[in-house]
Amino acid sequence: MTSDTPQHQAETTNRQAMATSPQTGGRAGRTASRVLADGAYASVGATDRLVCFVRSLPDYAVRISARGPQGFRGAVEQQFDSLVIRGREVVDAISSSPTTQRAVEQSKTAREQFLTAAGQLRRTRGDANRAAGETVEAVEDAAVEIGSQRDQEGKT
């Protein structure tokens, strides 16, 4: 990134502000209330950085437009290309990370286990429905048999 880009100017301003700001003691020393307070300060800091970036845009646009339409187009293409490269590097880093690869493998394993369990559940449900149907039939048959026996006893 060149020194005349708005991103570089905003990052420089941010580094200068960080150099003059008091340290918070790191993550280990923060309590829950401190994290909440620091979160608010972080939001303000992010907003300030954005404001610095937006304020630098007119100067950047003037410098680029002084180069003419081709200079502006070239600058836009350069910024786009640098974002493409950065995006590819981030995706490659995430994709090739051992942590990501483990997560993908764990997801595949979990999916296989889920599908196996779902199949077993379907088979179990079918078996339970058949067993329930057989039980109902057996109870009906027993009720008919008992009724027949009582009818026989009543006739004699």
Q: Say how far apart CA 104 and CA 14 lie, in whole Å.
A: 37
Both tokens of residue 77? 């293409």
For the chain, which residues make up each domain, given as ranges? Answer: 6-68, 99-156
Both tokens of residue 83? 């974002």
- Per-residue pLDDT of 95-144, as tens digits, reads 898 998 999 999 999 999 999 999 999 999 999 999 999 999 999 998 88
pLDDT band at 13 (very low <50, low <70, confident <90, very high): low
Q: Say how far apart CA 20 and CA 79 lie, in whole Å.
A: 30
- Per-residue pLDDT of 54-92, as tens digits, reads 888 888 777 777 777 777 778 778 888 888 898 888 888
- Could you count the other beta carbons within 10 Å of the beta carbon of residue 75? 19
**What is the three-state SS of 91-125?**
HHHHHHCHHHHHHHHHHHHHHHHHHHHHHHHHHHH
